[in-house]
Amino acid sequence: MELILKYFPELTAEQKAQFELLQKLYEDWNIKINVVSRKDIDELYLRHVLHSLGIAKIQSFLPGSKILDVGTGGGFPGIPLAILYPEVQFHLVDSIGKKIKVVAEVVEGLQLKNVKATNDRVENVSGKYDFIVSRAVAQMETFVHWVNGKVAKKSLHEKKNGILYLKGGDLTEELKIYRNAVIYPLNEYFEEDFYETKSVVHLPLKFKG
Ligand SMILES: C[S@@+](CC[C@H](N)C(=O)[O-])C[C@H]1O[C@@H](n2cnc3c(N)ncnc32)[C@H](O)[C@@H]1O
């Protein structure tokens, strides 16, 4: 928890309490439905919560904006971002029902009012979003195909509407067809070794009506 405060010192008392509660909620739910590995539960804040919040260091979300988290699994990056931005609407989607069950329980435990969780493949989701966030779900080319047509026309943020994807390792090959993709290394924001090879990829997407 200190790790979160180290990089996000301006949390409200409610946000601090919500971030703190995450450990217990995931420990309890993981016993019933395994969504996070044991090792990752022990390092929940380093590997999941802070990593998710890396997106906020690249682009902070404006009140009223809409964010889609594709393949959210147990709720990453969507849930930590929803705690950080209570006035932003988050839609968390996963094709596996038991994962969405955990997400729904964690959302209830935290009393988050800005999260909708849907059990479906993202290809079946309609709606327009300012940004589509994700981690560890698919190669960029497949992902772009899935989310085509789900980006809102008007860009209100500093960065153009599109994808903000948490990726690791060398992305040269994967991104070579996307000349407008920008890689933001997270080791410029977080000093822990875990972030040495991690980054956020911003890929603006054109609106398709
Ligand atoms: C490796 S997990 C990552 C979970 C989470 N994003 C994280 O980083 O902890 C990939 C998740 O993507 C989901 N997924 C894969 N293809 C999907 C699709 N087309 N639509 C929705 N969810 C999908 C899987 O069910 C799985 O929960």
Q: Is residue 128 part of a domain?
A: yes
What SS3 class is residue 56?
helix
Q: Is residue 209 part of a domain?
A: no
Q: Into how many domains does the chain fold?
A: 1
CATH of the domain at 65: 3.40.50.150
List all residues 6 or more positions away from 146 whose beta carbon is below 8 Å from its beta carbon: 70, 122, 123, 138
> pLDDT 10s per residue in the chain (209 long)?
899 999 999 999 999 999 999 999 999 998 888 888 888 888 999 999 999 999 999 999 999 999 999 999 999 999 999 999 999 999 999 999 999 999 999 999 999 999 999 999 999 999 999 999 999 999 999 999 999 999 999 999 999 999 999 999 999 999 999 999 999 999 999 999 999 999 999 999 998 87
| CB-based contact 70:134 (threshold 8 Å) | yes
Q: Which residue has the tokens 């479906």?
A: 120
- Ligand 1, atom 7: closest residue by C-alpha: 76
Domain of residue 85, residue span:
2-204
Q: Is residue 70 part of a domain?
A: yes
Q: Is residue 105 part of a domain?
A: yes
- Ligand 1, atom 8: closest residue by C-alpha: 135
Regarding pTM above 0.80, the answer is yes
For ligand 1, which residues put their CB under 6 angstroms from it? 70-74, 76, 93-96, 99, 121-123, 135-137, 146
